[in-house]
């Protein structure tokens, strides 16, 4: 298992795509339970649990992705170890409903620990095969083991200590790469890592695609307010397309100028992933409200979509747009995010959101053309 050079070709492999496909189940479960909690007006529980659940999904996915960008032998042992991680992801997904409904994180923790302990095996192989990176790989292996012991121990804490315990261990998980990389930074392949994050963004946006599809289905099957439901469906499609456009507007691999910068960039992607999946839940809540299935107030329903879209915009701006220092684009992002927070006060928040995002995309396109001309 030899470390890859940053300048060598590094295409996304079928194994990585399978890994992402299985993570769709966990993302779907998290978005679906958030949708359910918002529908039954258990808003604070849903909003409180969703970031915790999504942290487990994102962090396990990111650790495999960054490792595979540095080491990717594709031999039998590597494939079997990755399949164990996939099994852990499915266990984690199975525990999502229990976490939302009962506050029971035991199954999620077991699935997470399975994935992370499999990563220990990967790091130990890297330590054996890559002498220059041995100290770093061993630090990762030891650190991951300690973190998993902490996660298991957290299950024994009294209820009032569960959230503080999560915050402490989560911060320690985020700091682990900075400690582990001190002997020798793990070098990611910039094009590969940005492609992997981009592919997962598309997967998470699939939650919104599903919500739009359900709108069309309900419009024709139930016959309730078909015009309104079709309007939401069309607006949802525009929102999804705009979110995709904004994320992939310009290449970002050249912005990852060092392993540290790449790591911080990857951390910021948590907000993009979590917000994109939450947009799907918000669109579904809007559909339910139109058919009388949701019990939230009209403005709360509007914010179910407006808030995650605004978070998504700000995260994409900070990580993808702001480094280009295009003043017109920067202003457009910030103004659009502010206006999104006012959409719940309008008569048609989803169509208005679609118009705002379409306007932002148009502004970016015009700015790009103006820059090309000059």
pTM (two decimals):
0.91
**Between 343 and 223, where is the model more confident?**
343
User: Could you tell me if 339 and 359 are in contact, meaning their C-beta atoms sit under 8 angstroms apart?
Assistant: no
Going by pLDDT thresholds of 50, 70 and 90, the confidence category of residue 245 is: very high
What percentage of residues in the chain have a pLDDT greater than 90? 45
Question: Residue 251 is encoded by which pair of tokens?
Answer: 């290449």
| Residue 216 clears pLDDT 70, i.e. is over it | no
Going by pLDDT thresholds of 50, 70 and 90, the confidence category of residue 274 is: very high
pLDDT tens readout for residues 113-153: 999 999 999 999 989 888 888 899 999 999 999 999 999 99
What integer is the mean pLDDT of 259-265?
A: 84
Looking at residue 254, what is its pLDDT?
86
Looking at residue 218, what is its pLDDT?
67
pLDDT tens readout for residues 357-371: 999 999 999 988 776
Looking at residue 340, what is its pLDDT?
96
| Residue 77 clears pLDDT 70, i.e. is over it | yes
| Residue 248 clears pLDDT 80, i.e. is over it | yes
Looking at residue 170, what is its pLDDT?
94
Domains of the chain, start order: 14-180 (no CATH), 190-373 (1.20.1410)
| Among 221-225, 232-236, 293-297, 346-350, the least confident range | 221-225
Looking at residue 373, what is its pLDDT?
40
Going by pLDDT thresholds of 50, 70 and 90, the confidence category of residue 42 is: low
């Amino acid at each position: 298992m030899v470390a890859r050079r940053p300048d060598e070709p590094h295409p996304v492999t079928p194994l990585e795509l399978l890994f992402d496909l299985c993570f769709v189940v966990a993302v779907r479960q998290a978005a679906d339970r958030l949708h359910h909690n918002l529908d039954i007006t258990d808003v604070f529980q849903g909003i409180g649990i969703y970031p915790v659940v999504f942290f487990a999904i994102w962090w396990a996915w990111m650790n495999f992705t960054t490792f595979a960008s540095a080491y990717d032998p594709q031999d039998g042992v590597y494939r079997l170890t990755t399949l164990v991680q996939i099994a852990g992801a499915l266990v984690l997904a199975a525990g999502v409903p229990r976490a939302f409904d009962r506050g029971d994180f035991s199954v999620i923790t077991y699935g997470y620990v399975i994935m992370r302990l499999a990563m220990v095996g990967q790091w130990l192989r890297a330590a054996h095969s890559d002498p220059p990176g041995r100290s770093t790989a061993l630090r990762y292996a030891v650190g991951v083991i300690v973190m998993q012991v902490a996660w298991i121990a957290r299950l024994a804490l009294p209820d009032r200590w569960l959230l503080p315990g999560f915050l402490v261990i989560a911060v320690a998980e985020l700091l682990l790469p900075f400690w582990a990389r001190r002997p020798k930074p793990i070098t990611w392949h910039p094009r590969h890592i940005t492609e992997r994050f981009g592919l997962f963004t598309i997967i998470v946006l699939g939650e919104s695609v599903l919500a739009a599809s359900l709108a069309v289905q309900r419009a024709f099957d139930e016959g309730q307010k078909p015009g309104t439901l079709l309007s939401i469906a069309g607006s949802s499609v525009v929102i999804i397309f705009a979110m995709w456009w904004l994320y992939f507007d310009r290449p970002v691999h050249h912005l990852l100028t060092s392993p540290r910068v790449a790591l911080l960039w990857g951390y910021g992607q948590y907000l993009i992933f979590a917000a994109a999946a939450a947009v799907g839940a918000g669109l579904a809540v809007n559909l339910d409200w139109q058919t009388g299935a949701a019990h939230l107030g009209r403005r709360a329903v509007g914010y179910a979509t407006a808030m995650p879209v605004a978070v998504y915009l700000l995260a994409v701006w900070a990580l993808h747009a702001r480094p280009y220092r295009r003043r017109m684009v920067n202003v457009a992002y910030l103004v659009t995010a502010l206006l999104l927070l006012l959409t719940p006060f309008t008569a048609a928040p989803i169509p208005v959101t679609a118009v705002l995002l379409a306007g932002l995309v148009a502004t970016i396109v015009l700015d790009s053309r103006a820059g090309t001309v000059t």
